[in-house]
């Protein structure tokens, strides 16, 4: 709405004020005199002067030819914008209605129709900026179908596929099995199955390939197990084994478990728990066991520095116990002891981690109780007997291995070791250790201390590496 036209009196008053302002601007009149004539203060005068100059600039500025523009009304502008938006929406609705009626006459199962729907919706999206679900609803098209068609077209595929299974070339199952056998298999995982699936995804599903992979992995594991040579220990108390392992890690220290076990009876001697398993500690522990239970003939051990320290060797030499070291980097050679350590290590670790702050003597007590419980549990490998009874019942038979008998055995093994070194042309220290290990194993096998089987067949000789269970 425009303002009313000013009266003649208002125009005369405005003209008088403008003349005074112009006289001040031209220097004919001072500001103080002009303010006095107008009956206002100097501050008010300066306000009027600024407004008068601004009005003159606006009135006398350059304009386009024609009538002067009318002042804009905000309410009118808002109504005009709403009218334009409604008109645009009506046009879109009319357009979508025409498209919807046209789509009803077409067969949406044809690829060209699906392609046209995707193109139309993309264009409407650019015009009105509506979300795709709303546009799909206005055209009567399923939003899920539209997204599926759009994704296929982006990958360069057809928007629609023919129903039913695809026509594929026959699967060469033997070739696929050969490829699976060539992969690197673990106990529960196989590396390279994903790449193999991408090569054969047109012929076999991922689920079927995973089932075939599990079958191949199981076959390889059983084949590997069958190829191993398994040891059965026949005389309890004659061959012991020892090993240590990290039990738990705490804030300021680590706790280790040291364990000694008789291999034939699975009898576990009193374990030792501490922060460090030094060679001197191992030597003292072994000597205590020798005095309590009698020394064995053979002691199996790995190549740990604490288990092969001079103090340990001196105790073995003093009681004429023959050390039998495992081959380097071959844990299955002492596999029976590895399993025995896990029998104590796993429950002790769980209990120590869940019991809060504990002391080493408390863990030591737990280990002794757990070893006692394992020694008095029936085992299938002992035909239902318990380890404690089997071990102690065999003690009288071990008295036959006197010091004289032990020296004779040591001499026999030394002579066989020399012969093997000469026949095999041994040149390195590792080959010497292998020859001596083979001599010890040969004596054990010939005297009925152990039997070796492969695929459930008894073998007459020892290989260089044997999995001892």
Task: Give per-residue burial for 178-198: e unless 16+ CB within 10 Å, then b.
Answer: eebeebebeeeebeebeebee
CB 260 within 8 A of CB 269: yes
Place of tokens 């108390």: 237
CATH superfamily for 231-397 is: Ribonuclease H-like superfamily/Ribonuclease H (3.30.420.10)
| Residue 241, pLDDT score | 93
The encoded tokens of residue 243 equal 């090993």
Strand bridging mode 322-325 / 298-301: parallel
- Residue ranges of the domains in the chain? 8-59, 78-154, 173-227, 231-397
Let me know if 286 is exposed, middle or buried by CB neighbors in 10 A (0-12, 13-18, 19+): buried
Task: Quickly count: other Cβ atoms within 10 Å of residue 386's Cβ.
Answer: 17
Task: Quickly count: other Cβ atoms within 10 Å of residue 237's Cβ.
Answer: 25
- Residues 307-362 pLDDT 10s: 899 999 999 999 999 999 988 887 778 888 888 888 888 888 888 777 777 788 88
Task: Give per-residue burial for 133-169: e unless 16+ CB within 10 Å, then b.
Answer: eebbebbebeeebbeebbebbeeeeebbeeeeeeeee
| Residue 167, pLDDT score | 60
CA–CA separation, 120 vs 122, rounded Å? Answer: 5
Question: Per residue of the chain (469 residues), what is the pLDDT tens digit?
Answer: 445 667 888 888 888 888 888 888 888 888 888 888 888 888 888 888 888 888 887 777 666 676 666 666 778 788 888 888 777 777 777 777 777 777 777 776 777 888 888 888 888 888 777 788 888 887 788 888 888 888 888 888 887 776 655 666 678 888 888 999 899 988 889 999 999 988 888 788 889 999 999 999 999 888 887 777 778 888 999 999 999 888 887 777 788 888 999 999 999 999 988 888 888 999 999 999 999 999 999 999 988 888 899 999 999 999 999 999 988 887 778 888 888 888 888 888 888 777 777 788 888 888 899 999 999 999 888 889 999 999 999 988 888 999 999 999 999 999 998 888 888 777 788 888 888 989 998 999 888 888 877 766 655 654 444 444 4
- Residues 52-85 pLDDT 10s: 888 887 777 666 676 666 666 778 788 888 888 7
Please report, to the nearest 10 degrees, the dihedral formed by the alpha carbons of residues 124, 129, 134, 136 taken in order: 30
| Residue 173, pLDDT score | 86
| Residue 430, pLDDT score | 87
| Residue 468, pLDDT score | 47
For 328, phi and psi rounded to 5 degrees?
A: -60, 135
How far, in whole angstroms, is CA 78 from its chain's centroid? 59
CA–CA separation, 30 vs 343, rounded Å? Answer: 111
- 27 secondary structure, DSSP code: T
| Residue 137, pLDDT score | 83
Q: Is 360 helix (H, G, I), strand (E, B) or coil?
A: helix
| Residue 164, pLDDT score | 58
């Amino acid at each position: 709405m425009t303002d009313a036209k000013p009266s003649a009196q208002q125009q005369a008053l405005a003209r008088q004020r403008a003349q005074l302002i112009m006289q001040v601007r031209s220097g004919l009149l001072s500001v103080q005199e002009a303010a006095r004539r107008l009956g206002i203060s100097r501050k008010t005068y300066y306000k009027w002067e600024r407004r008068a100059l601004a009005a003159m600039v606006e009135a006398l500025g350059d304009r386009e030819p024609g009538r002067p523009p009318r002042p804009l009304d905000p309410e009118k502008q808002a109504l005009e914008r709403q009218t334009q938006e409604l008109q645009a929406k009506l046009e879109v609705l009319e357009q979508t209605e025409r498209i919807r009626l046209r789509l009803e006459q077409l067969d949406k199962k044809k690829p060209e129709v699906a392609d046209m729907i995707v193109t139309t919706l993309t264009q409407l999206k650019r015009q009105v900026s509506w979300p795709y679900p709303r546009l799909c609803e206005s055209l009567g098209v399923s939003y899920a179908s539209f997204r599926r068609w759009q994704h296929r077209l982006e990958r360069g595929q057809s928007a629609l596929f023919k129903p039913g299974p695809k026509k594929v070339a026959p699967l060469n199952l033997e070739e696929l099995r050969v490829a699976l056998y060539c992969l690197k298999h673990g106990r529960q995982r196989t590396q390279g199955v994903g790449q193999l699936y991408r090569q054969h995804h047109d012929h076999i599903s991922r689920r079927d390939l995973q089932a075939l992979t599990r079958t191949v992995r199981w076959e390889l594991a059983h084949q590997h197990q069958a190829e191993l040579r398994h040891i059965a220990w026949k005389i309890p108390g004659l061959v012991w084994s020892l090993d240590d392992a990290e039990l738990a890690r705490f804030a300021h220290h680590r706790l280790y478990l040291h364990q000694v076990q008789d291999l034939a009876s699975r009898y576990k001697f009193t374990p030792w728990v501490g922060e460090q398993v030094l060679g001197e500690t191992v030597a003292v522990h072994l000597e205590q066991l020798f005095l309590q239970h009698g020394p064995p003939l053979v002691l199996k051990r790995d190549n740990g520095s604490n288990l092969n320290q001079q103090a340990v060797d001196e105790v073995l030499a003093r009681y004429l116990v023959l050390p039998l070291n495992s081959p380097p980097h071959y844990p299955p050679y002492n596999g029976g002891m590895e399993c025995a350590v896990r029998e104590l290590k796993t429950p002790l670790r769980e209990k120590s981690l869940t019991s809060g702050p504990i002391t080493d003597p408390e863990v030591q007590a737990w280990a002794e109780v757990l070893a006692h419980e394992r020694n008095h549990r029936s085992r299938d490998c002992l035909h239902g007997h318990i380890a404690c009874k089997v071990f102690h019942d065999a003690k009288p038979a071990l008295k036959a291995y006197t010091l004289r008998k032990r020296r004779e055995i040591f001499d026999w093994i030394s002579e066989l070791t020399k012969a093997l070194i000469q026949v095999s042309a041994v040149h390195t220290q590792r080959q010497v250790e292998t020859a001596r290990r083979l001599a010890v194993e040969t004596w054990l096998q010939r005297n009925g201390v152990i039997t070796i089987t492969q695929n459930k067949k008894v073998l007459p000789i020892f290989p260089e590496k044997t999995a001892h269970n």
